[in-house]
Amino acid sequence: MPKDMDAYRDKMDLVETIDPEIDKPVFRRPGYDGIKTFGEIDERIAQFIRKAREDKDLTRAELAPLLGLSMQVYGRYERAFSKMHVTRMIHLCEILGFMPMEMLYSAAPHLWGRTPEEARDSMELARQVVSLPHGTKRDLLALVKKMADLERAAGGTPGSAPKGDGDR
Protein backbone atom coordinates (compact mmCIF):
# COMPACT_ATOMS: atom_id res chain seq x y z
CA MET A 1 0.00 0.00 0.00
CA PRO A 2 1.56 3.35 -1.01
CA LYS A 3 2.35 5.88 1.66
CA ASP A 4 0.31 9.04 1.95
CA MET A 5 3.08 11.48 1.06
CA ASP A 6 0.87 14.52 1.65
CA ALA A 7 0.36 13.37 5.25
CA TYR A 8 4.11 12.72 5.61
CA ARG A 9 4.99 16.20 4.29
CA ASP A 10 2.46 17.75 6.68
CA LYS A 11 3.77 15.73 9.64
CA MET A 12 7.34 16.83 8.86
CA ASP A 13 6.33 20.49 8.22
CA LEU A 14 7.78 20.34 4.71
CA VAL A 15 6.92 22.91 2.08
CA GLU A 16 7.58 22.83 -1.62
CA THR A 17 10.23 25.25 -2.78
CA ILE A 18 12.49 25.96 -5.71
CA ASP A 19 16.24 26.11 -5.22
CA PRO A 20 18.44 27.65 -7.93
CA GLU A 21 20.79 24.65 -7.73
CA ILE A 22 18.10 22.04 -8.47
CA ASP A 23 16.06 21.84 -11.64
CA LYS A 24 12.84 20.63 -10.00
CA PRO A 25 10.89 21.47 -6.84
CA VAL A 26 12.16 20.15 -3.52
CA PHE A 27 10.55 19.94 -0.10
CA ARG A 28 12.20 21.69 2.83
CA ARG A 29 11.41 22.57 6.41
CA PRO A 30 11.44 26.34 6.86
CA GLY A 31 13.84 27.89 9.33
CA TYR A 32 13.08 30.82 11.61
CA ASP A 33 13.47 33.29 8.78
CA GLY A 34 12.12 31.19 5.92
CA ILE A 35 13.83 28.69 3.67
CA LYS A 36 17.50 29.27 2.97
CA THR A 37 18.78 28.18 -0.41
CA PHE A 38 21.41 25.49 -0.54
CA GLY A 39 23.85 28.22 -1.56
CA GLU A 40 23.02 30.22 1.57
CA ILE A 41 23.55 27.11 3.68
CA ASP A 42 26.92 26.59 1.98
CA GLU A 43 27.79 30.22 2.85
CA ARG A 44 26.99 29.60 6.53
CA ILE A 45 29.18 26.49 6.52
CA ALA A 46 31.98 28.45 4.85
CA GLN A 47 31.74 31.19 7.49
CA PHE A 48 31.82 28.58 10.24
CA ILE A 49 34.96 26.81 9.00
CA ARG A 50 36.72 30.12 8.34
CA LYS A 51 36.01 31.23 11.92
CA ALA A 52 37.02 27.81 13.32
CA ARG A 53 40.35 28.06 11.46
CA GLU A 54 40.90 31.64 12.60
CA ASP A 55 40.03 30.73 16.20
CA LYS A 56 42.92 28.23 16.08
CA ASP A 57 45.15 31.01 14.72
CA LEU A 58 45.89 29.06 11.54
CA THR A 59 46.25 30.42 8.03
CA ARG A 60 44.80 28.65 5.02
CA ALA A 61 48.36 27.83 3.98
CA GLU A 62 48.99 26.14 7.35
CA LEU A 63 45.70 24.23 7.48
CA ALA A 64 45.50 22.97 3.90
CA PRO A 65 48.43 20.50 4.12
CA LEU A 66 46.95 18.99 7.29
CA LEU A 67 43.90 18.15 5.17
CA GLY A 68 45.99 16.88 2.26
CA LEU A 69 44.83 19.81 0.11
CA SER A 70 46.42 22.71 -1.64
CA MET A 71 45.66 26.14 -0.22
CA GLN A 72 43.62 26.95 -3.33
CA VAL A 73 41.45 23.84 -3.03
CA TYR A 74 40.86 24.39 0.69
CA GLY A 75 40.05 28.06 0.02
CA ARG A 76 37.13 26.94 -2.15
CA TYR A 77 35.43 25.59 0.99
CA GLU A 78 35.85 28.89 2.81
CA ARG A 79 34.44 30.77 -0.18
CA ALA A 80 31.49 28.33 -0.48
CA PHE A 81 32.65 27.51 -4.00
CA SER A 82 33.07 23.78 -3.27
CA LYS A 83 30.51 21.70 -1.41
CA MET A 84 31.54 20.12 1.87
CA HIS A 85 31.35 16.32 1.93
CA VAL A 86 30.71 14.60 5.25
CA THR A 87 34.11 12.93 5.17
CA ARG A 88 35.81 16.31 4.76
CA MET A 89 33.68 17.73 7.58
CA ILE A 90 34.79 14.89 9.86
CA HIS A 91 38.41 15.55 8.92
CA LEU A 92 37.99 19.27 9.69
CA CYS A 93 36.45 18.35 13.06
CA GLU A 94 39.50 16.25 13.86
CA ILE A 95 41.94 18.98 12.86
CA LEU A 96 40.14 22.08 14.16
CA GLY A 97 38.56 20.46 17.23
CA PHE A 98 34.90 21.28 16.72
CA MET A 99 31.96 18.91 16.78
CA PRO A 100 29.94 18.22 13.61
CA MET A 101 26.77 19.37 15.33
CA GLU A 102 28.32 22.83 15.80
CA MET A 103 28.82 23.24 12.06
CA LEU A 104 25.36 21.90 11.29
CA TYR A 105 23.81 24.18 13.92
CA SER A 106 25.51 27.19 12.34
CA ALA A 107 23.93 26.30 9.00
CA ALA A 108 20.48 25.12 10.14
CA PRO A 109 19.66 26.04 13.76
CA HIS A 110 15.97 25.29 13.20
CA LEU A 111 16.84 21.59 13.34
CA TRP A 112 17.61 21.99 17.07
CA GLY A 113 14.32 23.49 18.22
CA ARG A 114 11.00 25.09 17.37
CA THR A 115 12.22 28.56 18.38
CA PRO A 116 15.64 30.23 18.27
CA GLU A 117 15.76 30.13 22.09
CA GLU A 118 14.94 26.41 22.18
CA ALA A 119 17.58 25.75 19.51
CA ARG A 120 20.25 27.71 21.44
CA ASP A 121 19.35 25.85 24.64
CA SER A 122 19.52 22.48 22.86
CA MET A 123 22.91 23.30 21.38
CA GLU A 124 24.28 24.57 24.69
CA LEU A 125 22.98 21.48 26.50
CA ALA A 126 24.68 19.24 23.94
CA ARG A 127 27.97 21.15 24.34
CA GLN A 128 27.79 20.85 28.11
CA VAL A 129 26.97 17.14 28.04
CA VAL A 130 29.85 16.39 25.67
CA SER A 131 32.29 18.07 28.04
CA LEU A 132 31.21 16.02 31.08
CA PRO A 133 33.27 13.09 32.40
CA HIS A 134 32.06 9.69 31.19
CA GLY A 135 30.67 8.60 34.56
CA THR A 136 28.60 11.77 34.80
CA LYS A 137 27.30 11.22 31.26
CA ARG A 138 26.19 7.71 32.22
CA ASP A 139 24.36 9.03 35.30
CA LEU A 140 22.76 11.83 33.26
CA LEU A 141 21.68 9.38 30.56
CA ALA A 142 19.99 7.17 33.17
CA LEU A 143 18.21 10.23 34.58
CA VAL A 144 17.06 11.44 31.17
CA LYS A 145 15.78 7.95 30.23
CA LYS A 146 13.79 7.85 33.47
CA MET A 147 12.36 11.32 32.78
CA ALA A 148 11.39 10.26 29.23
CA ASP A 149 9.70 7.11 30.55
CA LEU A 150 7.71 9.18 33.06
CA GLU A 151 6.75 11.66 30.33
CA ARG A 152 5.51 8.84 28.09
CA ALA A 153 3.57 7.27 30.97
CA ALA A 154 1.90 10.64 31.62
CA GLY A 155 0.74 10.72 27.99
CA GLY A 156 3.27 13.22 26.68
CA THR A 157 6.11 12.72 24.29
CA PRO A 158 9.73 13.21 25.31
CA GLY A 159 10.74 16.78 24.63
CA SER A 160 7.22 18.18 24.77
CA ALA A 161 6.10 20.42 27.60
CA PRO A 162 3.83 18.71 30.14
CA LYS A 163 0.18 19.63 29.83
CA GLY A 164 -0.48 22.98 31.47
CA ASP A 165 3.22 23.74 31.87
CA GLY A 166 3.55 26.26 29.05
CA ASP A 167 6.78 28.03 28.16
CA ARG A 168 9.01 28.99 31.05
Rg of the Cα trace of the chain? 20
Instruction: Give me the domains of the chain, ranges plus CATH numbers.
Output: 1-110 (1.10.260.40), 113-153 (no CATH)
Is 78 in contact with 51 (CB distance < 8 Å)?
no
- Judge whether residue 12 has pLDDT over 70: yes
- pLDDT tens profile 142-151: 999 999 999 9
For the stretch 107-154, pLDDT in tens is 999 999 999 999 999 999 999 999 999 999 999 999 999 999 999 999
Please name which of 33, 25, 27, 32 lies closest in space to residue 14, comparing C-alpha atoms: 27
Average pLDDT, the chain: 92
Of all residues in the chain, the percent with pLDDT exceeding 70 is 92
State the pLDDT at residue 3: 82
The pLDDT assigned to 158 comes to 60
Whether the per-residue pLDDT at 89 is higher than 50: the answer is yes
How does pLDDT run across 27-57, given as a tens digit for each residue?
A: 999 999 999 999 999 999 999 999 999 999 9
Q: State whether residue 15 is helix, strand or coil.
A: strand
Q: Model-level pTM greater than 0.85? A: no
